[in-house]
Amino acid sequence: MIPGATLPGSIFVANLWFYGVAVLRPAQILKVAGLYRGREIGQAPRRAPGGGLGQHYSRMYSAPVFLGYRPQGYETVAAFDQLSSVHDQLQEPFSAPIFEDVVKVLRLLSSPTSRILDCSCGGGTEAVTLAGLVPEGEVVGTDLAMEMVATAAARASRQGIRNTAFFQADIANLPDHFANQFDFVYSSFSFHHYTQPVKALQEMRRVLSPCGHAIVVDAGPWWMKLLGSTLAQWADPGWVSFYTGEEFQELFAEAGFSHFYWVEILPGIGLSIGTR
């Protein structure tokens, strides 16, 4: 059993590893060869003219910023505090091929000066990588789990990454001073934990600059929702729901986004992009 994890959690992670090796990596190779193309909804956005918002938070906050209280609903993420030191490594065999393809999408849409908000940043592995995409911009990581924020900040510091900042924050109640401050908001395999999905998307939209993009990566096609929901409900702490592309389209529209695009980026995995 994986140290720090429950038996259901260990079985869940083992399934993720198997899927990553047996399905995602081969599909990624086929995709590069032009032999795999996922279903799409809408039209993919293009890079907006002009540069990004540059650096601000990374210059203002050299240490992680924590809430001074235990927020309501914290019990849904308390288990992640216990796994903070190994969380990202446990996910890597599954998440790595997906993140590699997401980075390709972000590279097409972003500029070196873009400012990215990584919601539910976990242990910071992806935030640190994204920081390299925007050397003249920055990545701000948020997570409701306090130990995740501490781990992410320590990882960035250990690797000498200076264009990052980290905050403990609830996706449904982001800091007021985040309003209109980000070119991109990014949420990776966390949306299925959000108890208020429309409110979360409304917050993402609120903190975006005009024409900014919210990018959500999660399990999504109908068949993955059908197959994965029972296992996730049993083994994934705080799991609420997976959403199909059509359901994401409705959620983004309800939250007020002007444009929506969804693609099955790899088998069973949906990438949603909403434009403010």
What Cα–Cα distance (Å) separates residue 75 from each residue in 67, 192, 193, 263? 15, 16, 12, 33
For the residues 81-100, what does the mean pLDDT come to?
Answer: 86
- Which pLDDT does position 4 carry in this prediction? 52
The contacts of residue 38 (CB under 8 Å, 6+ apart) are: 263, 264, 265, 266, 267
Looking at residues 225-242, what average pLDDT do you find? 92
CA distance 143 to 165: 12
User: What pLDDT does 237 receive?
Assistant: 82
Closest CA to 240 of 229, 226, 253: 229
How far is C-alpha 78 from the geometric centre of its chain's CA atoms?
A: 19
Average pLDDT over residues 11-15: 88
Q: How do residues 37-63 score in pLDDT, each as one tens digit? A: 999 999 999 988 888 999 999 999 999
pLDDT tens for 152-180 read 999 999 999 999 999 999 999 999 999 99
Q: What is the pLDDT of residues 120-143, one digit of tens each?
A: 999 999 999 999 999 999 999 999
Which residues on neighbouring strands pair with residue 272, listed in sequence order?
216, 262
Tell me the C-alpha to C-alpha distance, in Å, between residue 268 and each of 20, 100, 114, 245: 11, 16, 29, 11
Residue with tokens 């389209």: 249
| Contact of 274 with 252, CB cutoff 8 Å | yes
Backbone angles phi, psi at 176, to 5 degrees: -55, -35
Unique residue bearing structure tokens 């929702």 = 225
174: DSSP letter: -
* Residue 47: DSSP 8-state: P
- Per-residue model confidence (pLDDT) at position 74: 87
Average pLDDT of the chain, as a whole number: 94
Structure tokens given for 162: 């200076």
CA distance 85 to 123: 7
Task: State mean pLDDT over 235-256.
Answer: 95
- Tell whether the model's pLDDT for residue 76 goes beyond 60: yes
Question: Is-contact 134 114, C-beta < 8 A?
Answer: yes
H-state helical runs in 64-214: 78-82, 87-109, 125-133, 146-158, 197-207
Least confident of 27-31, 80-84, 96-100: 80-84
Full set of structural domains in the chain with CATH: 7-275 (3.40.50.150)
Strands 182-188 and 164-168: unpaired
| Region 200-227 average pLDDT | 96
Residue 209 has pLDDT above 50, yes or no: yes
pTM: predicted TM-score of the whole model, two decimal places = 0.95
How many C-beta neighbours within 10 Å does residue 207 have? 23
Residue the block writes with tokens 């790899």: 266
Burial tier of 35 (Cβ tally within 10 Å: 0-12, 13-18, 19+): exposed
Q: What is the pLDDT of residue 13?
A: 86
**Comparing C-alpha atoms, which of 263, 244, 265, 247 is closest to residue 255?**
247
Q: Please determine, for residue 98, whether its predicted confidence score (pLDDT) is greater than 90.
A: yes
How high is the pLDDT of residue 83? 76
What band does 1 get if pLDDT is binned at 50, 70 and 90? very low
Residue 201's CB is within 10 A of a number of other CB atoms, namely 28
CA pair distance 53, 111, nearest whole angstrom? 10
Query: Where residue 5 falls among pLDDT bands split at 50, 70, 90?
Result: low
